[in-house]
Structure 1
Amino acid sequence: MSGDPIRPHFSTFRCRFTDGQHVVGSFIKTPTTHATEIFGALGYDFVVIDEEHAPFDRMATDMVLLAARASNLAGIVRVSSDDPAKILSCLDCGAAGVLVPHVASVEKARAVAAAARYRGGRRGYSGSPRAGGYGATPMWQLVDEQDASVCAIAMIEDPEALDHIDAIADVDGIHGLFIGRGDLTVALGAPSSADARVQQAVVHIIAAAQRARKPVCVMVGSAAEAGDFAALGASAFIISSDQGQMRRAAAQTLTDFKKLTHA
C-alpha cells in the first residue's frame, strides 16, 4: 500500500494539510484494525483514532496505528486530554499527528505545540518505539523527520476560545484548527449546529485560520456538507466515523430489503 501511485505516502500528510489540499478521513471508534484497513484500501487520506470518546487504550491505539501505516493512511489520534505524556505515547507509537480537544487559550496551544515536537519543544526522546524504527533511526535524523512531519491540530470547541482565536491560530507548531461544532452547540445552548450563533462561530474561526494561513478541519456527515464548508474555506474533512458509516449503510440496506419483502 505504501507504494500506491494514486495517493501520496502517509508521511506527507502534514505537508498536504498545511498546503490547503483537500484531504478526507474518518473517525475510528471501534478499537480494531479492520475499519482502518478498509478506509486505506478505499483511498482515504487519514483516519482519526478517537481516544476521547471511544474505548481505546494504548495497546488498541498502537494496533490501529500499525494498520494505518500498513494501509498508507495518516493515523491521527484524538487524544483524551492535552497531557504531554498522552501526546508522547501516541507519537511514539507512530501517529502522524494529534488532534487535541478543548484548546481554549494561547497557553494551552503553546503547550500542545511543545509536547508534539523536539526542537523548540518538550517532546521526550526515545528511538526505540515504532516512530524511531525500533532503534534503526539515528537520533538527530529522527528528530528532524518527526519535527518535519508530525501534525498538531487544535480543537476549537469552547466559547472562550473564540475570544483568543487569532492568537491561538498564530501559535507556531499548531498546524491547523478543527472546529468542534458539537461542543460549541452544547456550550452555547443552541438547539442545533445550524443555529446562527454556531454558524457565526464557525465563520469567525475560519477567518482567523485564514489570517494565520492555517488550514481548517471539520467533521461532516456527507459530501454535500463538506462542499458547503469548502466554500467557506475548510480543506480537511472527517466524514462521520466507522460506526456512523456502518450504521448508515446497514440502515439503508435494511430499508431496501424491507421494500423488497413487502412489495
Structure 2
Amino acid sequence: MNNAFKDAIKAGRPQIGLWLGLTSSYSAELLAGAGFDWLLIDGEHAPNSVQTILTQLQAIAPYPSQPVVRPSWNDPVQIKQLLDIGAQTLLVPMVQNADEARLAVKATRYPPAGIRGVGSALARASRWNRVPDYLHQANDAMCVLVQIETREALNNLPQILDVEGVDGVFIGPADLSADMGFSGNPQHPEVQAAIEHAIGQIRAAGKAPGILMANEQLAKRYLQLGALFVAVGVDTTLLARGAEALAARFGAEKTAEGSSGVY
C-alpha cells in the first residue's frame, strides 16, 4: 500500500489542488482529468454523505489526481466510515489544540496505535479483505492534515506540530479572518501576517503547510513561502463565475455582487 499524496508532501514537492463541492461523481471525474495534483472532497460545507463521497472516490481513482476528504467534524465514527470507503488522506476541520490533533490521528489508526474500528470485511479500503495484510499496512498509509482556523489554534500551533502522526497543517483563511475580526477579508494585513508566520512555523517543524486561496497572486506567494499543498480554486465558483461571464458576453445583466473572500 502507498499514499502518493503523503509521499509527495513528505518529499517537499508542492501539490496544487482544487476544492470539490458539487457532490457529483461525474464532475469529480471530469476534474480528475484536469491536471491537479489533489482534489478535496468536502464533507464539511458541501452537502455530501458517505455514499456521495464514495462515488467520488471511485470516479477519481483511475486518474493521477489524489483525493483528500474533509469530514464534517473531528469525529472518530465518521472518520472510520470515510477510511473504510477508501479515503487515505483526511483534512480534519477546526482543530484547536494538541489533544484534538491527537484524537484525529488516533481515529485513523488501528489498535493498539489508535481507535479505528476493525471492519475490513465490509471495507472498500481493504478490497473486502483481498488486500494482503491490510490491517498491518493501513496505519502507515494514512495521512492526517489538521485544519487551524482560529487565534486559539494559532496560539497552540507549536503543540499541535509536536503531535506524532500529524503530516500537515492546513490554514483556513476564511474562518481565521472571521475569528480575527476581519470577516470576508482574508487579505487583511494582520491576517496575512498570521498566515505567513504559521507557514514558517509549520515548515520549521518538518510538517507540510497547506491553504486554500483562489487569488492567484496570494496562492503563488504562499508557495514561495513554503506551502506544500495549496488549493487554488473551487468547482462551484469556477462554474458560477464562468457561466456568469459567458452570459454577460451575450448581454445578460450582471447578477448580484458576491463576496470576494477566499473562494
- Which 10-residue stretch deviates more, 46-55 or 201-210? 201-210
Does residue 1:124 correspond to 2:117, yes or no? yes
Residue 135 (structure 1) aligned to one of 120, 129, 132: 129
Please list every run of 5 or more consecutive structure 2 residues that lacks an aligned counterpart in the other structure: 253-263
Contact 1:10–1:45 (CA<8 Å) still a contact in 2?
A: no
Contact 1:126–1:132 (CA<8 Å) still a contact in 2?
A: no
Where in structure 2 are the equivalents of 1:51-62 lying within 5 Å?
A: 51-62=43-54
Contact 2:2–2:141 (CA<8 Å) still a contact in 1?
A: no
Contact 1:94–1:131 (CA<8 Å) still a contact in 2?
A: yes
Paired residue type of 1:95? A
Q: 2: distance between equivalents of 1:194 and 1:72?
A: 32
Q: 2: distance between equivalents of 1:143 and 1:199?
A: 42
Q: 1: distance between equivalents of 2:85 and 2:18?
A: 20
Does residue 1:34 correspond to 2:34, yes or no? no
- Which 10-residue stretch deviates more, 85-94 or 188-197? 188-197
Q: What TM-score does the superposition give when structure 1 sets the normalisation length?
A: 0.88
Match of 1:6 in 2: none
Residue 217 (structure 2) aligned to one of 224, 233, 251: 224
Paired residue type of 2:125? A
Contact 1:153–1:178 (CA<8 Å) still a contact in 2?
A: yes
Where in structure 2 are the equivalents of 1:1-263 lying within 5 Å?
A: 11-118=3-110, 120-128=113-121, 129-138=123-132, 141-190=133-182, 192-258=185-251
Deviations 1:57-83 (A, max 9, x none): 111111111112133432211110101
Percentage of identical aligned residues? 29
Q: 1: distance between equivalents of 2:147 and 2:128?
A: 31
Q: 1: distance between equivalents of 2:245 and 2:63?
A: 28
Per the TM alignment, residue 96 of structure 1 is displaced from its structure 2 partner at its CA by 2.5
Contact 1:14–1:151 (CA<8 Å) still a contact in 2?
A: yes
Contact 1:23–1:237 (CA<8 Å) still a contact in 2?
A: yes
Match of 2:259 in 1: none
Q: 2: distance between equivalents of 1:189 and 1:243?
A: 26
Per the TM alignment, residue 31 of structure 1 is displaced from its structure 2 partner at its CA by 1.5
Q: What TM-score does the superposition give when structure 2 sets the normalisation length?
A: 0.88
Contact 2:85–2:125 (CA<8 Å) still a contact in 1?
A: yes
Residue 45 and residue 234 in structure 1: after superposition, are their counterparts in 2 closer, same or farther (change >3 A)?
A: same
Contact 2:33–2:65 (CA<8 Å) still a contact in 1?
A: no
Paired residue type of 1:14? K
Secondary structure of 1:70's aligned partner: coil
Q: 1: distance between equivalents of 2:216 and 2:130?
A: 41
Residue 65 and residue 202 in structure 1: after superposition, are their counterparts in 2 closer, same or farther (change >3 A)?
A: same
Q: 2: distance between equivalents of 1:10 and 1:202?
A: 31
